[in-house]
Amino acid sequence: MKGLGGHSRRIRRLRPGTRVLATGPFGALTAARRTRPKVLLIAGGVGITPMRALFETLPGGPGDITLLYRAGAEEHLVLRSELETIAAERQAGLHYLLGPSGAAYDPLAPQAPAALVPDLTEHDVYLCGPPGVAEATRAALQRAGVPAGRIHSECFSF
């Protein structure tokens, strides 16, 4: 667990054997926020962590769940074999959007997600990534016609 805030720093000081009670999740990245049958998950970098859990657990049939995973290069993809196994078992979509930040081609510009997910505007979208990626992706999704109320996002920074 990364010590980024007051709570996570305190948790790191717990001694082995200490009993804890964990509840939640309570944030934007929960199944409770879902309003549509189809879901698009978008992860930037290590934002894949909560998306991996949703990718496996959100209810849906073949073709209802799609994951777009943005990373700088193929070697930066974490959990890749798990994601591919989940995609195959659930008959879910999985796309890797690779390339350096600031490249001439922006894989999260409005036309890219719409090309990969033709009925994009009919989806709930869950988004997690660093602030710059999350903000740019949210804006791109809205320009592509996804209503703001169907974009559920959390961002992280180090």
Q: What is the C-alpha separation between 94 and 66, in angstroms, rounded?
A: 6
pTM: 0.82
In angstroms, rounded to a whole number, what is the distance separating the alpha carbons of residues 51 and 129?
A: 10
The predicted-structure confidence for 61-80, as pLDDT tens digits, reads as follows 999 999 999 988 999 999 99
Q: Which domains does the chain have, with CATH numbers?
A: 35-155 (3.40.50.80)
Neighbours of 59 (CB within 10 A): 10
**Neighbour-count burial of 139, counting CB atoms closer than 10 A to its CB (0-12 exposed, 13-18 middle, 19+ buried):** middle
State both tokens at 61.
């049939």
SS3 assignment, position 42: strand
Query: Of 20 and 158, which is predicted with more confidence?
Result: 20
Instruction: Tell me which of 107 and 125 has the higher pLDDT.
Output: 125
End-to-end Cα distance, the chain: 13
pLDDT in tens, 89-115: 999 999 998 887 765 556 666 677 888
